Amino acid sequence: MSPVHVTAEVLASKRIGAFQHVTLVAPGVGERFRPGAFVAVSVGTGGYHLARRAFWIHQVRPLGGYAATVTLVVQPRGEGTRWLAGRQRGDRVEVTGPLGGRPFALPKEPVPVLLVGEGYGAAPLFALAERLRERDCPVNLVLGAPDEAHLLSALEARRTARAVTIVTGDGSVGARGSVADVLPEALRRSGAAVVYAAGPATTLHAAALAAEEHGAWSQVALEQRTTCGTGLCLGCPVPVVGEDGVARTARACTDGPVVRGDRVRWDDLARGASA
């Protein structure tokens, strides 16, 4: 998956709940995309430039006469995300992608799978669900958020998956609680052989633990800060255990962003430790 750097054009920008869905014409990016890949966007124009910001590729679709437009889900909160969310149709944005040495690995057999996502972090799971369905894998989905506004595409989730469990912190939609609360039951009901998770590290950790207890594999999409995104700066360390049982440091951008959940040293990750 060799990335390209392009000047993309904003084709559409739509507010849905707490998120801004930004669709870009970014020639070459969508064509190379695999679920779990991300892009780096240079935020800021004119007199000021900030570090590039990473965004999951949510959807790749033919739209407006273009073969493979790329949609990002932006939760405006800091300088960079507010800048991108404020772009209008016709604006130009510098984009590098698709990035990520290891996107989600698809099972060889049509096994049942459980996809677990939280907030905007669930963005990479929707394209993954489509690919899994093409392989005849029964797709089950757990979607979580603090409240309804931060719940990503619940309607689309119901169209994509065989069974959907929704959980919100304030109980405004679905069950009240956290993703971790509903995981054991969702795993039992789905009989999943593989759990795919995307979202905050606490959710990824919970998904990896629940999968292990259930005897399933897990694949987690890490959201470590990335600076270069290409494996050069060593600025995105992930503490892991290698297949030989020896502690190592992986790079989220090129050895990930998707890694096996049972390989991550979660306590060290939470402490920001590597090595």
Ligand X SMILES: Cc1cc2nc3c(=O)[nH]c(=O)nc-3n(C[C@H](O)[C@H](O)[C@H](O)COP(=O)(O)OP(=O)(O)OC[C@H]3O[C@@H](n4cnc5c(N)ncnc54)[C@H](O)[C@@H]3O)c2cc1C
- Interacting residue ranges for ligand X, rule: CB under 6 A: 38, 50-51, 53-56, 72-75, 77-81, 120, 123, 223-227, 257
What are the residues whose beta carbons fall under 8 Å from the beta carbon of 179, sequence distance 6 or more? Answer: 116, 118, 142, 144, 167, 199, 203, 206, 207
Structure tokens at 86: 């404020």
Distance CA 207, CA 121 (A): 14
Q: Which long-range contacts (CB under 8 A, 24 or more apart) does 87-91 make?
A: 87/10, 87/13, 87/22, 88/10, 88/13, 89/10, 89/11, 89/12, 89/13, 90/9, 90/10, 91/9, 91/10
Is 65 flagged in the annotation as binding? Answer: no
Burial class (CB in 10 A: 0-12, 13-18, 19+), 170: exposed
Q: Single out the residue of 52, 50, 51, 49 nearest to residue 39, CA to CA.
A: 52
85 or 186, CB closer to ligand X? 85
Q: Whole-number minimum distance, CB 27 to ligand FES, in Å?
A: 24
157 or 253, CB closer to ligand FES? 253
Q: Whole-number minimum distance, CB 40 to ligand FES, in Å?
A: 9
Is 74 flagged in the annotation as binding? Answer: yes
User: Which of ligand FES, ligand X, none binds 163 (CB below 5-8 Å, type-dependent)?
Assistant: none
Is 75 flagged in the annotation as binding? Answer: yes
Q: Is residue 236 near ligand FES by the rule CB under 6 A? A: yes
Determine the interface stretch with ligand FES among 137-145, 166-174, 175-183, 227-235 (rule: CB under 6 A): 227-235
Question: Which residues inside 239-268 make contact with ligand FES, applying CB under 6 A?
Answer: 251-253
Annotated binding site: 73-75, 80-81, 228, 233, 236, 253
Per CB under 6 A, residues contacting ligand FES are: 226-229, 231-236, 251-253
Annotated binding site for FAD: 73-75, 80-81
